[in-house]
Each structure stands twice: as structure tokens, then as C-alpha cells.
């Protein structure tokens, strides 16, 4: 089964196999897990199938002064701040718009699905940039109005489309909805979904969620964001979850957890990827067996594999530098990774052997064609061997050949905040996903939909 958002994997029972942290000579250190989305997501471990529970006033003297009651940040205040952690909807000026490069002979043919920082909307477009279909749904039409304004309610962080035109969409840290092809609400979940999700062949939905609360063993007073892998059924009903914090605890990988990281803003892990492994590479390492769960913790600079059988980490690798997104296990057993280089000026996409760390392919920008996204980012290996890269902060997606030649390029036509005057920034582009050319689109209604094309 192929979802319109990404390829489904298949499930099979298997035993767990614990493995150690692997070193990497090209900059990966000797312990760690794989990449995670921007700024810390939290905790991951087995939690079973039950429901989840939910500064001093300045003076002219050096004397200690009791802070005024209305100026003290309470735990509840901090929890609300943690819930509002998200991304800028747009941050760069850009004059280009739409598809600027298309080499039909070398680009992989198909359709492109994306969401954008401009609105709670997803667009399916053809290779020329023509709109094939749109989905749109305001947060306030699904959930109660927010007491505190939150920009995360104004756009979708991740979307996945179904073959019949249904769509899943994440309001970052706020909730998850499912729409039909006509943007009618089918169901909603008020779980604090964030960053990523994946749908399985029988309809189960694996989604990253988080909870802002005080975890005394991390910080006795200040709340943190604890990340979870949550499983929902096809109707959005809760089925299972694992805490990522607990997933590391009690394992040989527990040393990657640094409570000091939580002191800055409470976002301990900033998990940004969840993928159910299809079994690629299991012949080299049993940690990559089918049904295990690949996650990326951006703030830790770690990519890891969690076993759903006991909810524990069975493989982990540190990244260097910290800051990565979208690890993917490829059919050849290698791993594809988007590394942001958050403190630098250049991002990189690498394909490497997860056991040895040997880099077998990479793409970097150049002076003529720079490539950098401090936040977010994605990379997808296409069936023809090309790689589709999303430079999220720049609102750009482009397809490169194995030799690094750009054969397709797209700039988000939307601007941040609104389409009106003053919206000078190109809207953030979380991920562009290429869908195969032969997918059924009888439900599509856009001007570039197959049914509406002029022959």
C-alpha cells in the first residue's frame, strides 16, 4: 500500500537485539542516536496501553527582594510556554516563485504534496507547479479557541494524504485532524501531536506527541517537554504509546540524556522524526529489523531505534554537529540524513552506512547555488536514484541527480502570514513529498487535476 504522503511499511514479529553506539570517522562521535527535528522533543519509553495522565524585581540596592506575585513565572506559565514552542512561519526574503527548473528527461515524474507556513492548507501540484488539489481547515473549526495566541494554530507542520483523497494534518503541538477530499472534518485528536507521523497498511497511525509537565528526576521545579511515540487506530482512537525518555533510561544509551539541556527552555529532546522500519539493513544489524521505530532527537544530536516489543532503545548514533532531521533507512541498508548545521552557513544531506558510519554519497550547496536551512529540512531518495531535498527555511525544494545536478526546483509561491502587502518573507516549507505519476486522482478538483486538463 502506498500512502500519498510516504511509503507504508509492513509488520512482522521479531526478537529484540541490543547494540552499542557506533562511532563515525567523519564527525559522528562514539555514542548517540539519530537526528531529531528542531529544538528538543522529549522522552521516549514503554508506557503500555492505558490512557496517559495527563525573576526578582530589579532594585538600586544589592539587598534580596521578594518578587512580586504577578511577576513570578509559575510552573503553569512555563508549561504554556513549552506548548507554544514552534517555528517561524517565514524568515527569508525571496523573489523567485513556483517551479524555476524542470528537466523532464531526468527528473522523476509525479506529483508534489506540501504544506506551508502561510495557512492551515496542503497543496498537491504537478511538476510544472499547477495546482491539482487543495485541502484547508482552520484550527478554530476543529478545536476550542486557544486562550493564549499560538502561531502553531495558523499552519500545518506535517501532512499525509491517502489514495482516496483523505488527509491527516498536524497543528504543531496542538492537535491532529483527518479531512476528506473535500476538506470536511472526519475526526480530530487533541493529543499534543508534533513534527511527524506515519500511517501503516492496516490504518494504524504512528505520531509524535508530547507532554509538558514536571519530571522530578530531570528537574524538580521546572517543567519539561516529554516526547512520546503514540499509536492511534484509523479513527484516531488511542491504542498505545512509548515515552522516549523512558526508552533511553536503563539502557546502555542512557548517557545521551543531559538534564542540563532542559534548563534552557525545557525542550529536552526535540524529537522530529518517527518511521516504522521496513526491515532494510536487518541482515547487517538486528536493531533495524522490521517494525522497529526510527526516531531523531534534534536537541540531543541523536538518531535512535526503539523496539516496540519492550519500548527500549536498541541502537543509537550521535550526529556532529547537533541539529538534524528526517533520517530514512534506504532499501540498500544505508541511511539518508539531513544535517542542518544550525550554527553554520551550509546544510548537508548524506547517505551513510549506519553500522560503520562510512559516507557513500552527499550533497552540499555551492557559492553559485547555496543550500542552508537552520531549522527543519527533509530529504527523500526517489525511485530513479535522484534525491528530493526540502530547504525549509528558504521555502525551496529541489531534486538532484547522483552527481549533484539540479533537475527540478520549486520556490514556495506563498508568503508568510498573509497574501497581502507587508508579507515579505517566503513561507516556511516543512517538506515536499514526491508522489508517483500513476496514482489515482479521480477525486482531485484543482485546475491541473487530470480530469480538468485540456488535451
What per-residue confidence (pLDDT) applies to 81?
Answer: 57
What per-residue confidence (pLDDT) applies to 44?
Answer: 30
Count of CA atoms in the C-beta half-sphere (13 A) of 120: 24
Domain ranges of the chain: 71-452
> Which pLDDT tens digit goes with each residue over 115-142?
999 999 999 999 999 999 999 999 999 9
* pLDDT range class, residue 373, cuts 50, 70, 90: confident
This prediction has a pTM of: 0.80
State CA 34 to chain mean position distance.
13
Q: What is the DSSP letter of 341?
A: -
Tell me how far apart the alpha carbons of residues 372 and 381 are, in angstroms, rounded to a whole number. 19
> Does the pLDDT at position 204 exceed 70?
yes
Tell me how far apart the alpha carbons of residues 342 and 357 are, in angstroms, rounded to a whole number. 21
DSSP one-letter string for 297-316: ETTTTEEEEEETTTTEEEEE
For residue 10, CA distances in Å to 25, 193, 306, 342 come to 33, 23, 17, 34
Segment among 152-156, 268-272, 275-279, 416-420 with least mean pLDDT: 416-420
* Neighbour count for residue 149 (Cβ, 10 Å): 8
Task: Specify the fold of 71-452.
Answer: Neuraminidase (2.120.10)
Taking the alpha carbons of 385, 359, 294, 91 in that order, is the dihedral positive or negative?
Answer: negative
> Does the pLDDT at position 17 exceed 60?
no
C-alpha cell at position 320: 556532529
> Which pLDDT tens digit goes with each residue over 135-187?
999 999 999 988 888 889 999 999 999 999 999 999 999 999 999 999 999 99
* pLDDT range class, residue 70, cuts 50, 70, 90: very low
Contact 323, 342 (CB under 8 A): yes
What per-residue confidence (pLDDT) applies to 147?
Answer: 84
> Which pLDDT tens digit goes with each residue over 275-284?
999 988 766 6
Q: Which one is predicted more confidently, 439 or 96?
A: 439
Q: What is the DSSP letter of 256?
A: G
Q: Which one is predicted more confidently, 66 or 421?
A: 421
- Strand-strand pairing, 205-213 and 193-199: antiparallel
Average pLDDT over residues 342-370: 87
Contact 19, 314 (CB under 8 A): yes
Amino acid at each position: 500500500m502506498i500512502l500519498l504522503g510516504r511509503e507504508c511499511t509492513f509488520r512482522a514479529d521479531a526478537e529484540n537485539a541490543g547494540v552499542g553506539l557506533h562511532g563515525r570517522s567523519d564527525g559522528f562521535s562514539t555514542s548517540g542516536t539519530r537526528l531529531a527535528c528542531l529544538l528538543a522533543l522529549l522522552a521516549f519509553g514503554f508506557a503500555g496501553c492505558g490512557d496517559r495522565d495527563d525573576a526578582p524585581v530589579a532594585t538600586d540596592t544589592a539587598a534580596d527582594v521578594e518578587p512580586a506575585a504577578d511577576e513570578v513565572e509559575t510552573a503553569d506559565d512555563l508549561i504554556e510556554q513549552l506548548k507554544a514552542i514552534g517555528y517561524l512561519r517565514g524568515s527569508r526574503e525571496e523573489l523567485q516563485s513556483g517551479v524555476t527548473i524542470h528537466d523532464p528527461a531526468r527528473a522523476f515524474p509525479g506529483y508534489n504534496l506540501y504544506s506551508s507556513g502561510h495557512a492551515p492548507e496542503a497543496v498537491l501540484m504537478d511538476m510544472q507547479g499547477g495546482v491539482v488539489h487543495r485541502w484547508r481547515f482552520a484550527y478554530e473549526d476543529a478545536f476550542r479557541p486557544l486562550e493564549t495566541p499560538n502561531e502553531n494554530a495558523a499552519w500545518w507542520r506535517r501532512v499525509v494524504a491517502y489514495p482516496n483523497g483523505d488527509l491527516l494534518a498536524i497543528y504543531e503541538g496542538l492537535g491532529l485532524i483527518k479531512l476528506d477530499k473535500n476538506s470536511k472534518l472526519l475526526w480530530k485528536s487533541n493529543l499534543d501531536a508534533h513534527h511527524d507521523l506515519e500511517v501503516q497498511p492496516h490504518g494504524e497511525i504512528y505520531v509524535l506527541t508530547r507532554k509538558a509537565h514536571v519530571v522530578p528526576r530531570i528537574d524538580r521545579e521546572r517543567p519539561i517537554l516529554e516526547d512520546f511515540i503514540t499509536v492511534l487506530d484509523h479513527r484516531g482512537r488511542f491504542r498505545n504509546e512509548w515515552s522516549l525518555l523512558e526508552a533511553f533510561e536503563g539502557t546502555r544509551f542512557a548517557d545521551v540524556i543531559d538534564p542540563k539541556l532542559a534548563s534552557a527552555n525545557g525542550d529536552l529532546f526535540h524529537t522530529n522524526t518517527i518511521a516504522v522500519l521496513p526491515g532494510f539493513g536487518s541482515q547487517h544489524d538486528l536493531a533495524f529489523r522490521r517494525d522497529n521505530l526510527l526516531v531523531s532527537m534534534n536537541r540531543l544530536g541523536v538518531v535512535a531505534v526503539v523496539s516496540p516489543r519492550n519500548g527500549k532503545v536498541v541502537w543509537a548514533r550521535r550526529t556532529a554537529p547537533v541539529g538534524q532531521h528526517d533520517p530514512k533507512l534506504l532499501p540498500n541498508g544505508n541511511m539518508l540524513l539531513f544535517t542542518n548545521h544550525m550554527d553554520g552557513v551550509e546544510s548537508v544531506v548524506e547517505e551513510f552506512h549506519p553500522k560503520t558510519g562510512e559516507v557513500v554519497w552527499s550533497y552540499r550547496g555551492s557559492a553559485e547555488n547555496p543550500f542552508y536551512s537552520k531549522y527543519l529540512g527533509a530529504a527523500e531518495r526517489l525511485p530513479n536514484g535522484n534525491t528530493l531535498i526540502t530547504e525549509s527555511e528558504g521555502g525551496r525544494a529541489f531534486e538532484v541527480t547522483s552527481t549533484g545536478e539540479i533537475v527540478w526546483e520549486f520556490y514556495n509561491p506563498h508568503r508568510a502570514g498573509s497574501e497581502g502587502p507587508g508579507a515579505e518573507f517566503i513561507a516556511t516549507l516543512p517538506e515536499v513529498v514526491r508522489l508517483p505519476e500513476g496514482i489515482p486522482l479521480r477525486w482531485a478538483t484543482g485546475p491541473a487535476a487530470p480530469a480538468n486538463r485540456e488535451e
